[in-house]
Amino acid sequence: MVLTFTGAPAITPCTMKAHLIEPTLPDAELARPYGGREVPSAVDPGIYRSPRTEDSSRRPRTGALPGSRKARAVASTVTSRPGYGQLLRTRGAWTFLLPGFAARQPFAMLTVSIVLLVQHTTGSYGAAGAAAAVTGVSMAVFAPFGGRLADRYGQRVVLIPGVVIHAMSGLTLTALALSQAPLWALLVAAVPTGASTPQIGPMVRARWGVKLQGSPLMSTAAAFESVTDELTFVVGPLLATALCTTVDPAAGLVTEASLTLLGGLLFAAQKSTQPSVGLDGHARVERTSALRIPGVRVLIVAFLGIGAVFGGMQVSLAAFSESIGEPGLNGVLYGTFAAGNMLSGLVCGAIAWKAAPKQRLIVGYTALALTASGLWAAHSVLVLAGLGLLVGMCIAPTLITGYTLVDSLVPAGARTEAFTWLTGAVALGQAAAVTIAGQLEDRFGDGTGFLVPMGGTLLALATVLALRSRLAARPHSRTVARGVGHRVPVAVD
């Protein structure tokens, strides 16, 4: 600890008013008041002890100040291994996790339900794909604006009218399809259906950000949310397919609209855990669109590459299975891909990472690009299944790291918007990849659709490498007032 005083001779600790340059401890926060004033959590009265009284070789290197029980606690926290059990014991977590899981389940049912219903009523996969594509694009375009409104006015204010509009739009699309309406009418109804889709996943992530502000459990929460998303996208399509094929072609979309309305209202009712919108003047200065932050723009381009993997895999695996005369293998192959994703997400969340998120993101995209580049050359089921497993195992850590970076790049008042931009980027990349991969398979066949995941991940990797400096964390500063003396800098080594 080196205390440097300039321009303030004979100032004692009791009379100084100091600016504290925050230690380089990640996750440092202001803690409980000490002596009626706010002080950093790692600081105790030992800060004013003479440096000569301490053996510098024995000081904790955690960013905390020496001679303090709090310093030892901080060191223990930094080096401990965060786990899912500790995360789920976070006070108040279950109040938004359970309704959040119910509300996000319909999200994965929407596209499949539209495709099966429209294909049944029109007899055309082209019309069904067009309706699903319009829904996906409108979702990707409008979701960030909904996230920004949620940051500004509160999630509840945006969510309640949103789920009502979505339910009405989905039922309208169902009625038009059953009445043999022309394609243009279906496309018109698909726009509000997609635009009003509630972004429950980003809202849950924003609530975790409030609960775990500055905690090493943030990466565990990001992993948990990634695994939850994967579980949603495994269960949702299966449920929608079962309803449409065994009950009624319209049952999937009707159920999706009903669950969205019910789950969304239950989630909106959890007012105590939603991020606060009552900000002070200083916070209003920081309130800005997440899209204006350079690091967020880099992540958006990078997440388009992940969407390209999802979309390209869906089409290309189906085409491969059809080409070998085993269309039923499509579900097995895609299930292997999803299983790798879920497994790596679980493992990623249980690791206490020492590498910085930016370095982990570069490694993740490098591994993803390498594994995806081998897909187009695979001509056997076993090789393709193995590569699909590896690709899936690379996706979850990359997604988790990208979402974790949002916590350091974006102020709290814009995080919901940032998360929706990333979610929308995945959806947009997926919609584009489905279209491009489908055209490649129709025109050239022979696994050319797998070139889309390869191209998307290489573009994402090049973007991250070229613009990695923009992924640096936002600078933070805090002012601590003590006594009535001069303002002097206190440098903490």
Banded model confidence at residue 51, pLDDT cuts 50, 70, 90 = very low
325 with 452, same domain: the answer is: yes
Average the pLDDT over each of 63-72, 259-268, 430-439 and give the range with the smallest value. 63-72
54-92 residues labelled b (16+ CB within 10 A) or e (exposed): eeeeebbebbbbbbbebbeebbeebeeebebeebeeeee
Query: Higher pLDDT residue, 421 or 2?
Result: 421
Q: Which two tokens stand for residue 181?
A: 């309406």
Flag whether pLDDT at 484 surpasses 80.
Answer: no
Banded model confidence at residue 371, pLDDT cuts 50, 70, 90 = very high
Count of structural domains within the chain: 3
Domain for residue 487, yes or no? no
Domain for residue 184, yes or no? yes
Domain for residue 186, yes or no? yes
Q: Which two tokens stand for residue 465?
A: 């490498």
Residues above pLDDT 70, as percent of the chain:
76
pTM reported for the whole predicted model: 0.66
- Asked if 432 and 307 touch (Cβ cutoff 8 Å), the reply is yes
**Highest-pLDDT range among 74-78, 206-210, 364-368:** 364-368
Q: pLDDT tens digit string along 149-187? A: 888 888 888 899 999 999 999 999 999 999 999 999 999
Cβ neighbors of 192 (< 8 A, separation 6 or more) are 138, 165, 166, 169
Please give the full DSSP string across 53-80, using - where no structure is assigned. GS-GGGS-SSSSPSS-HHHHHHHHHHHS
What's the CATH code of the domain at 137?
1.20.1250.20
Domain for residue 493, yes or no? no
273 with 310, same domain: the answer is: no
126 with 219, same domain: the answer is: yes
Domain for residue 373, yes or no? yes
461 with 316, same domain: the answer is: yes
- Tell me which residue of 488, 484, 481, 482 sits closest to 8, measured CA to CA: 488
pLDDT for position 278: 53
105 with 74, same domain: the answer is: no
Banded model confidence at residue 465, pLDDT cuts 50, 70, 90 = very high
Query: Higher pLDDT residue, 21 or 408?
Result: 408
327 with 253, same domain: the answer is: no
Query: Higher pLDDT residue, 106 or 58?
Result: 106
Domain C-terminal end among 80, 102, 130 = 80
Provide the domain limits for residue 210: 87-278
Domain for residue 4, yes or no? no
267 with 180, same domain: the answer is: yes
Flag whether pLDDT at 48 surpasses 80.
Answer: no
Distance of alpha carbon 208 from alpha carbon 419, whole angstroms? 12
Domain for residue 182, yes or no? yes
Flag whether pLDDT at 19 surpasses 60.
Answer: no
Domain for residue 486, yes or no? no
Cβ of 22: how many Cβ atoms within 10 Å?
18
Length of the chain, in residues: 493
Domain C-terminal end among 278, 309, 335 = 278
33 with 110, same domain: the answer is: no
Q: pLDDT tens digit string along 73-116? A: 444 333 445 677 888 888 888 888 888 888 888 887 888 788 88
